[in-house]
């Protein structure tokens, strides 16, 4: 399965990775690469837990650009 993830750097320099299509699926790392590896593990675990609980595996998520 392929998922879109977001990467943001916080004020302390830590990279935060989030998978918007899986509520609460967030991880972090000292580098972008580490954050991406960590979110892969988080996605697998989140999918397992959601399946065990009979929850939908994902929710609908879209990325849309807006101009302001």
Asked whether the predicted pLDDT for residue 42 surpasses 90, the reply is yes
What band does 51 get if pLDDT is binned at 50, 70 and 90? very high
pLDDT value at position 29?
98
Round to whole Å and give the CA distance between 28 and 1: 21
- In this prediction the pTM is 0.86
The mean per-residue pLDDT over the stretch 45-58 comes to 95
Per-domain residue ranges of the chain? 6-45
Q: What is the pLDDT of residues 3-41, one digit of tens each?
A: 999 999 999 999 999 999 999 999 999 999 999 999 999
Round to whole Å and give the CA distance between 21 and 43: 10
Please report where in the chains the tokens 């392929």 appear, as a residue. Answer: 2
Residues, the chain, total?
A: 68
pLDDT value at position 60?
84
């Amino acid at each position: 399965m392929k998922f879109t993830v977001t990467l943001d750097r916080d004020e302390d320099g830590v990279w935060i990775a989030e998978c918007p299509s899986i509520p609460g699926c967030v991880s972090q790392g000292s580098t972008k690469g580490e954050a991406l590896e960590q979110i892969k593990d988080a996605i697998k675990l989140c999918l397992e837990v959601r399946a065990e609980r009979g929850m939908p595996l994902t929710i609908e998520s879209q990325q849309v650009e807006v101009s302001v």
